[in-house]
Amino acid sequence: MNTTKRDGVVDDLVKFSLIALLVVIPIRFFVAEPYVVRGASMEPTFHSGEYLTVDKISYRFAEPVRGDVIILRYPKDESVFFIKRVIGLPGETVEIVGKNVIIQRGKDVPALTLDEQYIEPDRLQDEYGVYALGDGEYFVMGDNRKESSDSRSWGILKRDEIVGRVYLRLLPLTRMSVLPGEERFEISK
């Protein structure tokens, strides 16, 4: 290979690399980001080692909804990321009585008890707590209530601590899915 052809190949490689970086970096930081699940807090919905892609743009146009599975920055150490489920929304009061989660949505609206059929009974525990949410505040919990560090232990989650919604489960291939774990709760009175 002569010097001119080699220089052309190197130039092409440099151009391709720059274009790839100009495309990949903005997508990675503003649109979608990969995460690997660590720990048992979301079992059986998610298992440690699963590879996820997180949608970072949807919540720029819409607010999180009860049942969404999100990635968040741990409020006590923003360099740590957690995966949790949105349970309580701004302006609501979340009350945990025994193994039931009750949502108070306002004075003139009846209280609602969440029907969380995705949780295995042996992953629940009897407990009690009342959590009032203000503007831009969310209450999140893991699906494995016995093993989850969540709003019950470290408090209310602020809106700006939410990174994005889990959009894809890529690995393992046998569990690949779009919007994995997303739940639209059945609500009983």
Q: What is the pLDDT of residue 6?
A: 62
- Is residue 40 situated within a structural domain? yes
Beta bridge partners of 128: 97
Q: How far is CA 166 from CA 94, 105, 169, in A?
A: 23, 26, 8
Domain count, the chain: 1
Q: How do the pLDDT tens digits run along the chain, 189 residues long?
A: 555 666 667 777 777 666 655 555 555 555 567 888 999 999 999 999 999 989 988 998 999 999 999 999 999 999 999 999 999 999 999 999 999 999 998 888 888 898 888 888 888 888 899 999 999 999 999 999 999 999 999 999 999 999 999 998 988 989 988 888 888 765 554
Q: Which of 92, 111, 124, 98 is nearest to 187 (CA)?
A: 111
Burial of 85 (0-12, 13-18, 19+ CB in 10 A): buried
- Is residue 52 situated within a structural domain? yes
Q: Which domain holds residue 183?
A: 32-188
- Is residue 9 situated within a structural domain? no
Which residues participate in catalysis according to the annotation?
Answer: 41, 84
Q: What is the pLDDT of residue 89?
A: 96
CA distance 103 to 150: 17
- Is residue 51 situated within a structural domain? yes
Give counts: helices (H), strands (E), the chain.
2, 13
Three-state DSSP class for 37? coil
- Is residue 27 situated within a structural domain? no
Residue pair 86/67 in contact by the 8 Å Cβ criterion:
yes
- Is residue 149 situated within a structural domain? yes
- Is residue 8 situated within a structural domain? no
Residue that has been written with the tokens 């360099």 in this structure: 79
Three-state DSSP class for 173? helix
Structure tokens at 160: 């700006």
Query: Could you tell me the CATH number of the domain that includes residue 173?
Result: 2.10.109.10
- Is residue 25 situated within a structural domain? no
pTM of the entire predicted model: 0.81
